[in-house]
Structure 1
Amino acid sequence: MPVSDIWEVLRRPLITEKGTALAAEGKFLFEVHPDCTKAQVKQAIERAFKVSVVAVNIAVMPGKSRRWKRWTAYQSDWKKAVVTLKSGERIELFDA
Structure 2
Amino acid sequence: MASIQYYDVIIRPVITEKSMADMGEKKYTFLVHPEANKTQIKEAVEKMFEGTKVKSVNTINSDGKKKRRGMVVGKTAKTKKAIVALTEESKDIEIFEGL
Query: TM-score, normalising length from structure 2?
Result: 0.88
Distance 1:59 1:36 in 2: 12
Q: Deviations over 1:20-41 (max 9, x none)?
A: 0111110000111111110000
Alignment of 1:6-17 (within 5 A): 6-17=6-17
Give how far 1:2 is off.
4.5
Q: Following superposition of structure 1 onto structure 2, how do residues 26-37 of structure 1 map, counting pairs within 5 Å?
A: 26-37=26-37
Question: What SS does structure 2 have at the residue aligned with 1:72?
Answer: strand
Distance of 1:59 and 1:3 partners within structure 2: 21
CA–CA separation in structure 1 for the residues paired with 2:58 and 2:95? 20
Match of 1:61 in 2: 62
2:45 matched to 1:42? Answer: no
5+ long unaligned stretches in structure 2: none
CA contact (8 A) 1:3 1:35 kept: no
Opposite residue 17 of structure 1, the aligned amino acid is: E
Which amino acid in structure 2 is aligned with residue 64 of structure 1?
A: K
| Preserved CA contact (<8 Å) 1:58 1:81 | yes
1:34–1:64 Cα change, 3 Å: same
Q: In structure 1, how many angstroms separate the alpha carbons of the residues matched to 2:63 and 2:12? A: 17
1:45 is matched by which residue type in structure 2? V
Give the match's secondary structure for 2:25.
Answer: coil
Matched with 1:90 is 92
Gaps of 5+ in 1: none
What's the CA shift for 1:70? Answer: 1.9
Runs of at least 4 residues of structure 1 off by over 2 A?
none
